[in-house]
Structure 1
Amino acid sequence: MKLAGYAVAIAVLLALWGCEAMVFQPDSRLYATPADLNLSYREVHFDSRDGTRLSGWWLEPGNVPRGTVMVVHGNAQNISAHFLGFDWLVRAGYEVFIFDYRGYGTSEGSPALEGAVEDTEAALAYVQAQRRGRVTVIGQSLGGALLFNALARQGTERIALAVFDSTFASLPQAGREALDRSIVGWPLQWGASLTLTDRYDPIGIAPSLAVPKLYLAGSKDSIISPNHSWQLFDASARPRAFWLVQDAGHIAAFNDSRIRARFLAFLRRPAFDPDASAMLIFDTIKQKSE
C-alpha cells in the first residue's frame, strides 16, 4: 500500500475510535441502475425493527428464477454501485435482492452498527416473506459481519448457503493490522484493541452458525487479510468451504470469470471437501491457524 493509502487507513481508523458510525461510508449518489445494463428490476421499500424505512432492488431474470440470492453490501457507496458486481448472477437465471441499510442511498436514518444489523434482519425477513423457498445470502466485507449477526439472531432454517466475501474475523484485529502496515501507525495499534468494539465480531459467531458456509478471499487483499477468512473457516462447524482466489483484491473474487462459473456450479450442487488442506493455498496467509 502506498503512503497515501496508509494515511487514509490511519485517518479512518482514528475516526472509528471516536465514533462508531464512522465505520460506514454511505452516499446517496445514483451510480447506475439495472436498466443501464438491460436488466429488469423493481424498487421496493420495507421497515426495519424501529420503523426506519429501507429501500431495495429486486433484479429479475427473464425466465422463472433458478433461485433467490440476497446481497448485503460493504461499507461504502450504496446499492446503485454494488449491484454491478452481481449482474452475472441475474444473467445466469437467479433473482437478486440487494438493499441499503440505514443512511445509504434512499434508505432513511443514520448509519450505526446495531441499526445495520437490525436492517439486515429486516431484509432477511422481507425476502423470506416474499419467497417460499430457501435463500442464498452473500455478505461482502462489513456486510459479511452484519450478515453473521443477523443470521445468529434470526436463525438459518430457510438459508440454503451463506457466503462471506472478504469479511473480517475481528474488527479490533483488522484495525491493528491496518495500523501495522505503516511506520506512523504502528505505535497506535494498542488503541485499536481498546476502542474498536468486538461486540459484533464474526469469529465469536462462526462456531455455532448452523448453515452451509462458503468463505471467499483474495490473495492480494490489502484491506482485510485473507487470514481473516481462514480464521472464520477454521472456527466454523461443517459444512464449510474456503476459496482463496489468487491475485484478487478486496471483494474482487467474483471479478474472475472462472470463480463465477465455479460458484454457479456450486449453487447447483454444493461440494464441501472434508479435507480442509485440499482446499487452501497457505503461502499468502500469515499467522494461519494450524
Structure 2
Amino acid sequence: MKLAAYAVAIAVLLVLSGCEAMVFQPDSRVYATPTDLNLSYREVRFDSRDGTRLSGWWLEPGGVPRGTVMVVHGNAQNISAHFLGFDWLVRAGYEVFIFDYRGYGASEGSPGLEGAVEDTEAALAYVLARRGGRVTVIGQSLGGALLFNALARQGTERIALAVFDSTFASLPQAGREALDRSVVGWPVQWGASLALTDRFDPIGIAPSLAVPKLYIAGSKDSIISPNHSWQLFDASTRPRAFWLVTEAGHIATFNAPLVRARFLAFIRRPVFDPDASAMLIFDRSEPAR
C-alpha cells in the first residue's frame, strides 16, 4: 500500500513539475517540403517580440492568389508535417503562410505558452504588413488557443474570418479529460490540471473577440472533445458558426472533400445564419481522395 502511494506521489511530482512542457511536442525533422507536392514556396525568417528568430513558409499558388490564409499549427512536429493538411487550399488558389513557433523546426528558442503567443502575434503582424486587404486565419488544436490570444492582444481589424479547428476551451479542463481516459491518470488528474495555467484559455476570450468565427470539430476526436468547440461557440458573440464533422478525428475535419468544398465556398462568402438554432452544421465525413 505504501509502495503504491509512493508511486502515485512520484507521478504527481513528475506531472506537476513539467506540465507546461508536456503541452509542447516539437521536433526538427523535415517530414516533407512543398516541392514534394509540386507546390511553389518561399522560406522566410522573422523576429518575435523578444528577438527570437522564427521560420515560416509562404506556399504560393499559380497566378494571382484568391486570398491569404495564415495557419497556426498544433503542438506536435513542425510546419514540414502540418502544411500537408493545407495543400488543397493552395491548389484552390490561396496563398498559405504557415510558421513554426519557438523551439519547433528551424525556429530558435525553447517552447512555452507566453513565447508561443508572442510568436503568433509576430507572425500575424508579419503577414498583415506584407499583404493588403483582409486575411483568413486558422488555428488548429493548441494553435487555436495561441490564435485566440494573439487576436485579443493585436486586434482583428483586418481579419476576414478566424477559424478554430479542434481547439480546447480550457487547458486545465483538457488536461483533466486526457488523464481521465486512463486508469493510470486518475490519481493525478486534479493535481495536474491545477498545475496547468488557465491564463491563456480561449473560453475567457471568446465573449469579447469581435471577429467572424468558425468553430469546427470532429465527432470522433479522442484528444480534444468536440464539446470544447461547442463551449467556445456558445460563449462567442456573433457572427459565429459551428461545424461538427461526423466520423472525423482530431484536426482531421478538412480531410473530407465535402468539408473542403463547403469551406472554400464559405471563405469566398461567409454567410452566418441569424437563427442560432441553425448554427450547428453537420457534415458527413467522407474518405479523402
Q: Provide TM-score, normalisation by structure 1.
A: 0.90
Return the offset for 1:49.
0.3
Secondary structure of the structure 1 residue equivalent to 2:49? coil
Residue 181, structure 1, aligned to residue 181, structure 2:
yes
Secondary structure of the structure 2 residue equivalent to 1:110? coil
Q: Is the 8 A contact 2:16 2:192 kept in 1?
A: no
Q: 1:26 to 1:193 in 2, by over 3 A?
A: closer
Q: What is residue 128 of structure 1 aligned with on the other side?
A: 128
Return the offset for 1:21.
2.5
Q: 1:147 to 1:185 in 2, by over 3 A?
A: same
What is the CA RMSD across the aligned residues, in angstroms? 1.7
Q: What is residue 238 of structure 1 aligned with on the other side?
A: 238
C-alpha separation in 1, matches of 2:175 and 2:22:
13
Q: Deviations over 1:108-159 (max 9, x none)?
A: 1110110000000000000001001110000000000000000000000010
C-alpha separation in 1, matches of 2:216 and 2:16:
26
The aligned amino acid for 1:55 is S
Secondary structure of the structure 1 residue equivalent to 2:190? helix
- Structure 2 segments unaligned to the other structure (5+ residues): 1-10, 283-289
Q: 1:104 to 1:16 in 2, by over 3 A?
A: farther
Residue 226, structure 1, aligned to residue 235, structure 2:
no
Q: What is residue 288 of structure 1 aligned with on the other side?
A: none
Q: Is the 8 A contact 1:173 1:192 kept in 2?
A: no
Return the offset for 1:274.
2.1
Return the offset for 1:181.
1.7
Q: Deviations over 1:208-267 (max 9, x none)?
A: 000000000000000000000000000000000000000000000000000000000001
Return the offset for 1:17.
5.2
After superposing on structure 2, the runs of 4+ consecutive aligned residues of structure 1 that deviate more than 4 Å are none
Secondary structure of the structure 1 residue equivalent to 2:30? coil
Q: What is residue 6 of structure 1 aligned with on the other side?
A: none
Q: Provide TM-score, normalisation by structure 2.
A: 0.91
Q: Is the 8 A contact 1:17 1:192 kept in 2?
A: no
Q: What is residue 194 of structure 2 aligned with on the other side?
A: 194
C-alpha separation in 1, matches of 2:180 and 2:44:
43
Task: Tell me which structure has the larger Cα radius of gyration.
Answer: 2
Return the offset for 1:167.
0.2
Q: Is the 8 A contact 1:17 1:196 kept in 2?
A: no
Q: Is the 8 A contact 1:49 1:122 kept in 2?
A: yes
- Structure 1 segments unaligned to the other structure (5+ residues): 1-10, 283-290
The aligned amino acid for 2:134 is R
Return the offset for 1:280.
2.7
Identity of aligned residues (%): 90
Q: Is the 8 A contact 2:19 2:192 kept in 1?
A: no
Return the offset for 1:24.
0.6
